């Protein structure tokens, strides 16, 4: 604890002594006049012809190393200027560059820019990837943005659909409780409640460290920013391979809103809307948004109910208060509840009750019927405060509390047999506090520094209730689990076989229940700094470092909870349980101090073309876990070294191209696998050390405005991610030569967004898109059969829009070609040689009516 306190004091004193400056902010600030007498500075605003602000616009002094980006209000501030005649240049994607010569006088000078749109142009894209407003063109790293326009035009309502628009990102959702985010072949899956994600998800600048809280409903979103490659220095310890940052729409000073109602097949019902009210003009604004989205499952269960459905209710309250011209306070309250049917884990080996083994008949026979379910509930509250010293120098704080819980009950064998009946409950409470200082020194050194504290209590319960009269068949003769007539085989007792010794002929219980309970306390204190230094007018150096003092504690216990003792547990050594050996509560803990850093160079060929190269390292903390027999295990921390280089360019204001090549080396690679060892009695799904691995690839995208109302877009990603032949000790690895799971070698998406007038008041619009993935495995073990062949999905959203009143009627269709593909393979059944598969959604159609006011 003393080390943590000293670390906090050190960074706080450093910030005050190095970056503390007398305020030079707005004229309203009390001491601005005094500063104006001592130095020359220039401030102003960048807008378009309609007086709309252009945040992120680049404002530089031509031929010098001084330059900044317009802040969220479109304002800029250049200080420490010479009293001289200077050329000031403002630029942003989609607009003509404007250069103005001005005679700088002592004190504060003012110069506003009004940029002219190119006749055919792309809309500018503002991001906060480096914790300050910039246009995407100027961010020297691999970043993709899915804006509200694409979300609306392409009718993106699922996270998996969203990921198709980001090269290098793959998101799968088996149910509402546990999405998997995959960036460059690394997944965010956490097996133990002490394990931390590789892909960090953020919601409005607040980290989401549990997968059950990362399944964010895509309603009233401003944009989603996706950063690829290690982001530990900017986004913290959980960002080993990338970040997915969800940013909702903020309250504005305008009365506006919308209402949407939709219907579709599979009994689809959707209602969503938002209203924005400026309660006190330029002082207090409120935005309220919500969604209800219901759909029956597309898989029928012969035992009752449906599977793979949807039932989401969510709401968000955002309040913005401006107590003074240089202060801002944002309060965001967010709630979401999902109560959905279970996941259709289906067997290809055994028939359903109608004798069919084709999972794309979308008919399962899972004996628990309507008891199968997935769900989650989350609530978060965050308070953001910002105090401006000037347009680019300010203090900010974020205080956040998040509470999430999730549950899932599934049929592990995927058949009508009552062999594997499992339930998982998980919950987490998280507190996050951040203090950040954003600085601009001489308009040449721009960046931020700060400290943060994160605390989490997470728990996880696995409940297992096998009917051992069916489970015994899996142990002895799994091929007879289901008979040819589709009925399960039940053994009332173990066979009277001498090879079974004293267990021969023993009765098998039909009801046995056991559970395994884990609870973790995770916390971290972090200190960080990130900066960009303009060496010349064309060359910039970017760098950053973050230190983290982390503490983890994991408690675990297992118990026999109901029914009869397990007979099969005498075979596994876990009696009176089968899977989890009963044990009293036990505990282990770990703590560590780590450092991450990154550095890179960016060369600005002109205002619209940048090339860059970076080195960064990423880290995943040690994983604490217990085996099924209660043995503690600690996996070494996983490290990644990342090298990348890229180019971003805007051509004539109407074509944006970016391409990034990367090379990554992994040490102590952590993977997950089903482990079965009959000698020790261990049967569990856990993290294991996969050794060393290497990946390299290319990610590129293009967005082109061909005509004023015709945009073409596309992306392509190549990924070669494999386990090395030998580990760090030179010994051959178990997975040598295997590819990472959920890692297709080639992916691409292409599409267009077109609008045309039917009459003076009615427009027609259409947005088709096609996404393609080559072959990939679902396990790092690359088990034959647990894989997905190459496939493509065609989606479309089209309709008509009336201008006044603004009413939109749209029709959508996903998977138009009714492609047959799977979203999961292996799963719990793999442990017993009966893998299960989850069929992807078939063709879905629907219609929506929207009123914007």
Q: Tell me if 290 sits within 8 A of 315, measured CB to CB.
A: yes
Q: What is the pLDDT of residues 331-390, one digit of tens each?
A: 999 999 999 999 999 999 999 999 999 999 999 999 999 999 999 999 999 999 999 999
pLDDT for res 31: 47
pLDDT for res 675: 52
Q: Tell me if 227 sits within 8 A of 218, measured CB to CB.
A: no
Residue 373 C-alpha from the chain's centroid: 23
Query: Over 90: is that where the pLDDT of 56 sits?
Result: yes
Q: What is the pLDDT of residues 205-232, one digit of tens each?
A: 999 877 667 788 999 999 999 999 999 8
Contacts of 343 (CB under 8 A, 6+ apart): 174, 175, 307, 308, 372, 374, 408, 410, 824, 838
The two most distant CA atoms of the chain are separated, in Å, by 102
Q: What is the rounded distance in angstroms from the CA atom of residue 580 to the CA atom of residue 631? A: 11
Helix (H), strand (E) at residue 234: helix 232-235
pLDDT category, 236, cuts 50, 70, 90? confident
Structural tokens at position 455: 């605390």
Three-state DSSP state, 525: strand
Q: Name the CA dihedral angle for 735, 741, 743, 744, rounded to a multiple of 10 degrees.
A: 90
Query: Over 50: is that where the pLDDT of 615 sits?
Result: yes
628 vs 656 pLDDT, higher one: 656
Q: What is the chain's percent helix, strand, coil content, to nearest 5?
A: 10, 55, 35
pLDDT category, 177, cuts 50, 70, 90? confident
Of 406, 377, 297, the C-alpha closest to 342 is 297
Q: What is the rounded distance in angstroms from the CA atom of residue 671 to the CA atom of residue 130? A: 30
Query: Over 60: is that where the pLDDT of 10 sits?
Result: no
Structural tokens at position 77: 């501030």
Structural tokens at position 198: 């590789």
pLDDT category, 38, cuts 50, 70, 90? low
Q: What is the rounded distance in angstroms from the CA atom of residue 609 to the CA atom of residue 749? A: 24
Count of other CB atoms within 10 angstroms of residue 302: 16
pLDDT for res 664: 96
Contacts of 816 (CB under 8 A, 6+ apart): 794, 795, 796, 843
pLDDT for res 687: 56
pLDDT for res 686: 52
β-bridge pairing 806-814 and 844-852: antiparallel
Q: What is the pLDDT of residues 496-544, one digit of tens each?
A: 988 889 999 999 999 999 999 999 999 999 999 999 999 999 999 999 9
Of 194, 823, 820, the C-alpha closest to 550 is 194
Query: Over 50: is that where the pLDDT of 17 sits?
Result: no
Residue 550 φ then ψ, to 5°: -115, 150
Three-state DSSP state, 831: helix
pTM of the model: 0.92
Q: Tell me if 530 sits within 8 A of 233, measured CB to CB.
A: yes
Whether the ω angle into residue 805 lies within 30 degrees of 0, i.e. cis, is yes
Question: Mean per-residue pLDDT for 829-844?
Answer: 93
pLDDT for res 530: 96
pLDDT for res 628: 79
Calculate the average pLDDT of the chain: 91
Q: Which burial class, exposed, middle or buried, applies to 592 when counting CB atoms under 10 A from its CB (0-12, 13-18, 19+)?
A: middle
Q: Which of 42-56, 181-195, 300-314, 807-821 has the lowest mean pLDDT?
A: 181-195
Q: Tell me if 687 sits within 8 A of 191, measured CB to CB.
A: yes
Q: ∠ CA(509), CA(516), CA(824), 5° rounding?
A: 90
Q: Which burial class, exposed, middle or buried, applies to 428 when counting CB atoms under 10 A from its CB (0-12, 13-18, 19+)?
A: buried
Contacts of 551 (CB under 8 A, 6+ apart): 521, 522, 523, 524, 589, 590, 591
pLDDT category, 3, cuts 50, 70, 90? very low
Three-state DSSP state, 160: helix
Count of other CB atoms within 10 angstroms of residue 95: 23
Contacts of 418 (CB under 8 A, 6+ apart): 367, 466, 467, 470, 488, 510
Q: Would you give the end-to-end CA distance of the chain in angstroms?
A: 54
Q: What is the rounded distance in angstroms from the CA atom of residue 529 to the CA atom of residue 598? A: 11
Q: What is the pLDDT of residues 59-112, one digit of tens each?
A: 999 999 999 999 999 999 999 999 999 999 999 998 999 999 999 999 999 999
Of 638, 637, 636, 640, the C-alpha closest to 598 is 640
Cα–Cα distances (Å) from 375 to 191, 215, 311, 337, 406, in that order, read: 18, 11, 9, 7, 6
Q: What is the rounded distance in angstroms from the CA atom of residue 108 to the CA atom of residue 43? A: 7
Is the Cα torsion angle 471, 477, 478, 482 positive or negative in sign?
A: negative
β-bridge pairing 539-563 and 583-606: antiparallel
pLDDT for res 469: 96
pLDDT for res 21: 43
Structural tokens at position 740: 């990472």
Contacts of 422 (CB under 8 A, 6+ apart): 409, 410, 412, 462, 463, 464, 465, 828
Three-state DSSP state, 407: strand
Q: What is the pLDDT of residues 451-493, one digit of tens each?
A: 999 999 999 999 999 999 999 999 898 899 998 888 899 999 9
pLDDT category, 599, cuts 50, 70, 90? very high
Q: Tell me if 47 sits within 8 A of 57, measured CB to CB.
A: no
In angstroms and rounded to an integer, the radius of gyration of the C-alpha atoms of the chain is 29
Q: What is the rounded distance in angstroms from the CA atom of residue 841 to the CA atom of residue 672? A: 26
pLDDT for res 685: 52
pLDDT for res 499: 87
55 vs 28 pLDDT, higher one: 55
Q: What is the rounded distance in angstroms from the CA atom of residue 289 to the CA atom of residue 291? A: 7
DSSP annotation of 724 reads -
Of 633, 637, 611, the C-alpha closest to 624 is 633
Q: Tell me if 293 sits within 8 A of 266, measured CB to CB.
A: no
Helix (H), strand (E) at residue 226: strand 221-228
Structural tokens at position 806: 């603004």
Query: Over 60: is that where the pLDDT of 37 sits?
Result: no
Of 423, 652, 653, the C-alpha closest to 516 is 423
pLDDT for res 293: 97
Cα–Cα distances (Å) from 560 to 242, 732, 832, in that order, read: 41, 40, 22
Query: Over 70: is that where the pLDDT of 20 sits?
Result: no
Q: Which burial class, exposed, middle or buried, applies to 573 when counting CB atoms under 10 A from its CB (0-12, 13-18, 19+)?
A: middle
Three-state DSSP state, 398: strand
Q: Name the CA dihedral angle for 22, 28, 30, 33, rounded to a multiple of 10 degrees.
A: 70
Q: What is the pLDDT of residues 658-710, one digit of tens each?
A: 999 999 999 887 776 555 554 444 445 555 666 899 999 999 999 999 988 89
């Amino acid at each position: 604890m003393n080390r943590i306190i000293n670390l906090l004091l050190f960074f706080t004193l450093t910030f005050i002594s190095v970056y503390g400056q007398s305020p030079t902010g707005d004229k309203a600030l009390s001491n601005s006049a005094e500063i104006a007498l001592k130095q020359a500075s220039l401030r102003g605003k960048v807008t378009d012809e309609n007086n709309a602000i252009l945040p992120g616009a680049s404002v530089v002094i031509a031929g010098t190393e001084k330059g900044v980006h317009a802040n969220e209000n479109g304002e800029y501030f250049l200080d420490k200027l010479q009293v001289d005649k200077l050329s000031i240049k403002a630029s942003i994607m989609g607009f003509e560059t404007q250069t103005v010569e001005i005679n700088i006088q002592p004190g504060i000078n003012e110069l506003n820019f009004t940029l002219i749109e190119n006749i055919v142009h792309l809309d500018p894209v503002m991001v906060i990837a480096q914790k300050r407003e910039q246009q995407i063109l100027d961010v020297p790293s691999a970043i993709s943005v899915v804006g509200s326009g694409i979300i609306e035009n392409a009718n993106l309502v699922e996270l998996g659909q969203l990921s198709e628009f980001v090269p290098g990102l793959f998101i799968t959702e088996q149910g509402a409780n546990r999405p998997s985010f995959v960036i460059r072949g690394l997944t965010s899956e956490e097996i133990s409640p002490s394990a931390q994600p590789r892909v960090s998800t953020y919601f409005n600048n607040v980290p989401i460290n549990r997968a059950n809280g990362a399944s964010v409903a895509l309603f009233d979103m401003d944009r989603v920013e996706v950063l690829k490659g290690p982001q530990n220095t900017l986004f913290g310890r959980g960002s080993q391979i990338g970040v997915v940052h969800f940013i909702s729409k903020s309250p504005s000073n305008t009365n506006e809103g919308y209402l949407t109602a939709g219907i579709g097949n599979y009994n689809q019902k959707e209602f969503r809307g938002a209203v924005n009210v400026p309660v006190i003009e330029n002082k207090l604004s409120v935005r309220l948004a919500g969604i209800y989205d219901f759909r029956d499952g597309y898989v029928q269960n012969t035992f009752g109910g449906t599977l793979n459905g949807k039932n989401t209710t969510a709401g968000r309250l955002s309040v913005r208060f401006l107590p003074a011209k240089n202060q801002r306070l944002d309060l965001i309250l967010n709630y979401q509840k999902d109560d959905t049917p279970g996941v259709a884990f289906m067997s290809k080996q055994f028939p359903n009750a109608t004798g069919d083994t084709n999972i794309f008949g979308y008919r399962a026979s899972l004996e628990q019927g309507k008891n199968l379910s997935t769900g989650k509930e989350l609530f978060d509250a965050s308070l953001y405060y910002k105090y401006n010293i000037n347009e680019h120098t300010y203090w900010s704080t974020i205080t956040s509390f998040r509470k999430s819980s999730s549950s899932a009950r599934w049929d592990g064998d995927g058949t009508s047999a009552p062999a594997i009946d499992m339930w998982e409950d998980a919950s987490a409470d998280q507190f996050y506090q951040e203090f950040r200082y954003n600085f601009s020194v001489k308009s040449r050194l721009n960046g931020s520094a700060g400290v943060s504290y994160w605390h989490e209590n997470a728990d996880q319960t696995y409940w297992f209730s096998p009917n051992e009269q069916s489970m015994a068949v899996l142990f002895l003769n799994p091929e007879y689990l289901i008979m040819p007539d589709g009925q399960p085989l039940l053994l009332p007792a173990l066979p009277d076989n001498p090879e079974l010794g004293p267990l021969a002929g023993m009765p098998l219980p039909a009801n046995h229940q056991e559970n395994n309970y884990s609870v973790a306390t995770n916390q971290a204190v972090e200190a960080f700094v990130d900066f960009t230094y303009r060496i010349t007018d064309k060359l910039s150096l970017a760098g950053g470092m973050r230190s983290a003092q982390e503490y983890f504690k994991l408690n675990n216990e297992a118990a026999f909870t109901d029914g009869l003792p397990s007979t099969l547990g005498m075979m596994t050594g876990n009696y009176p349980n089968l899977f989890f050996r009963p044990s009293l509560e036990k505990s282990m803990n770990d703590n560590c101090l780590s450092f991450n850093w990154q550095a890179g160079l960016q060369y600005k060929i002109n205002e619209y073309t940048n090339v860059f190269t970076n080195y960064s390292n990423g880290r995943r903390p040690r994983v604490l876990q217990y085996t099924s027999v209660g043995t503690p295990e600690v996996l070494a921390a996983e490290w990644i070294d990342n090298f990348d280089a890229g180019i971003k360019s805007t051509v004539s204001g109407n074509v944006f191209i970016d391409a990034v090549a990367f090379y990554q080396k992994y040490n102590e690679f952590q993977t997950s696998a089903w482990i079965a060892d009959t000698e020790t009695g261990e049967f569990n799904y856990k993290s294991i050390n996969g050794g060393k691995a290497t990946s390299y690839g290319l990610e590129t995208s293009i967005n082109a405005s061909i005509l004023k109302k015709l945009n073409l877009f596309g992306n392509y990603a190549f990924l070669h991610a494999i386990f090395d032949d030998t580990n760090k000790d030179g010994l051959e690895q178990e997975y040598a030569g295997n590819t990472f799971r959920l890692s297709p070698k080639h992916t691409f998406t292409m599409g267009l967004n077109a609008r045309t007038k039917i009459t003076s008041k009615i427009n027609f619009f259409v947005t088709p898109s096609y996404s393609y993935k080559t072959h990939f495995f679902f396990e790092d073990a690359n088990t034959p059969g647990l894989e997905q062949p190459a496939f493509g999905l065609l989606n479309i959203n089209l309709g008509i829009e009336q201008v006044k009143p603004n009413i939109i009627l749209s029709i959508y269709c996903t998977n138009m070609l009714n492609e047959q593909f799977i979203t999961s393979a292996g799963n719990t059944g793999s442990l017993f040689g009966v893998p299960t598969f989850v069929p992807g959604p078939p063709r879905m159609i629907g219609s929506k009516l929207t009123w914007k006011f």
